[in-house]
Amino acid sequence: MNIALIAHDKKKDALVQFTIAYKNIFAKHSLFATGTTGKRISEATGLEITRFNSGPLGGDQEIGAMIAKNKMDAIFFFRDPLTAQPHEPDVTALVRLCDVYSIPLATNMGTAELLIRGLDEGLLDWRNIARENGDKDEK
């Protein structure tokens, strides 16, 4: 599965710790991340991560494009709801795309725990069928 990892500045430490805790699960999947977040996770875990631009420089939109092309299966986006974000419209658009395309999205530690355990249990295997059907539509 293709999984995106994103975190606002004040949530980066929490996402790094989360990926360390579940490294064995994340290692079974293709990982994508925005700039600094991806670098920090890769350095802390040794996991291979495809990195996009930082969120404010278009990284959120790059991940959004993957969602729109049915090439993203789950998103872990640790958001900071107490700090204004200069790229809030991009964040809102990404959340909206997850809703439009039924992409599981964890925006905090509580939902992240449920999503990662569901992923490990195979509860997201329906995404394999959705991705295959989407690919056929593109041809």
Radius of gyration of the chain (CA): 14
From the candidates 60, 73, 120, 135, give the one annotated as an active-site residue.
60
Gap between the Cα atoms of 14 and 53, Å rounded: 20
DSSP state of 85: -
Q: What is the pLDDT of residues 45-64, one digit of tens each?
A: 999 999 999 888 888 899 99
Residue 138 has pLDDT above 90, yes or no: no
Residues 79 and 108 sit within 8 Å (Cβ to Cβ): yes
How many other C-beta atoms are found inside a 10 Å radius of the C-beta of residue 76? 28
On whether the 2-138 domain is CATH 3.40.50.1380, my answer is: yes
pLDDT score for 89 = 77
Between 98 and 58, the more confident residue is 98
Which residue ranges make up each domain of the chain? 2-138
Q: What is the pLDDT of residues 102-135, one digit of tens each?
A: 999 999 999 999 999 999 999 998 888 888 877 5
**Amino acid letter for position 13:** D
pLDDT score for 136 = 47
Burial class (CB in 10 A: 0-12, 13-18, 19+), 54: middle
Q: Is 60 a catalytic residue?
A: yes
SS3 of residue 26 by DSSP: helix
